[in-house]
Structure 1
Amino acid sequence: MTITRAHAVSHPMIYVTTRISMDPAEISAKVGKAFDILQGFLVQNHITAVGAPLAIYRDWNGKTMAMDVGFPVTAVDVSKATGEVLAGKSPEGPAARAVHKGSYASLRDTYGSMEADIRKAGWKSTGTTWEVYVKGPGMAEEADYETVIYMQLDAADLELPGAVAQ
């Protein structure tokens, strides 16, 4: 697995937010529930996602973290958010980036490698991470899942040579 520096570009998105523990079963269940809510909202409001679904993890307090699960949409469609479906935008700025292939059960291994490489490179993480589900359930067999993982870096790392816009 290769970890690269990237400059994430923000996109309008609709999302559902919740607070979760690090328990993989809880994460999986709440991600599934959020996507069910969002899929219904997209259909009901005649919205087409303009990119792959994503989950943003932030505000880790040692026991729980906030999780925003959403879809990128157009600027016009983001204004349709209502109720538990919120309007916002995806993270932007400097980030470490890795592509995880295969089962979600081994995502923690990829995160561990990323954290080690970030420390080794002397970068500083902000604590916000996000996953973009390029290929997942319903699109590919589990062995062929593709998840792009981003770990947001401190703004001081913004001008790193070799960073590419994502």
Structure 2
Amino acid sequence: MADFKLIDVDETPYLYVERSTTMDPGEISRAMGSAFGEVWAFMEKHGVPPGGGALSVYHDYAEGRMAFRAGFVVARADMAAADGTVKADATPAGRVLHFTHIGAYDGLRDAYDGMMRHMESEGLAYAPPTWEVYLNSPDEVHEDQLVTKCYQALAG
């Protein structure tokens, strides 16, 4: 069971591309992989260093699909490099519900189900966006050692 905490966060600037998929885990994984690759190539071409981990930002879930942004945390000044399909934005500052997921990405769905139950029991209402920061990758560690920081914006 994840340890859910209310915390205050600062904005986090990032470069991203948008994707939309069904809720199929395989399709999500492929779309994220291609998005991360596209943004990484852009950053290398333009000399933009990563300022933190890879991240995904979820804004919309409708009719069995989800729209998300995938990219990398960057320094605020590097947001100006955005061009073409690579855009810049920042996660919102303020109070969020936070938890850390350790393990395979396919376990995130259960963690989010637990988060929703926790929010309901605490009388919390969510608002977009939800975002995840990936502190390592399957290329670096075994999937049971993956660390994902998860953040949920709150309504009102």
TM-score by length of 1: 0.88
Q: State the distance in 1 between where 2:12 and 2:98 align.
A: 17
- Corresponding residue of 2:11: 10
Q: CA RMSD in A?
A: 1.3
Cross-structure match for 2:109: 108
Aligned length in residues:
155
Say whether residues 1:134 and 2:143 are aligned partners: no
Counterpart in 1 of 2:98?
97
More strand by share: 2
1:20-56 CA deviation, whole Å, 9 max, x = no partner?
2211111100000001101111111111111111101
Equivalent position amino acid for 1:102 in 2: G
Match of 1:67 in 2: 68
User: How far off is 1:76 after superposition?
Assistant: 2.2
Report how far residue 5 of structure 1 moved.
Answer: 0.6
SS at 2:81 equivalent:
coil
Spell out the pairing of 1:78-97 with structure 2 (5 A cutoff): 78-97=79-98
* CA displacement, residues 103-130 of structure 1 (integer Å, 9 cap, x when unaligned): 1111111001111001000010114211
**Structure 1: 4+ residue segments shifted above 6 A:** none
SS at match of 1:38: helix
Are the equivalent residues in 2 in contact too, given 1:94–1:154 (CA < 8 A)? no
Instruction: State the percentage of identical aligned residues.
Output: 31
TM-score, length of structure 2 as denominator length = 0.93
Equivalent AA in structure 2 for residue 14 of structure 1? L
Q: Structure 2: 5+ residue runs without aligned partners? A: none
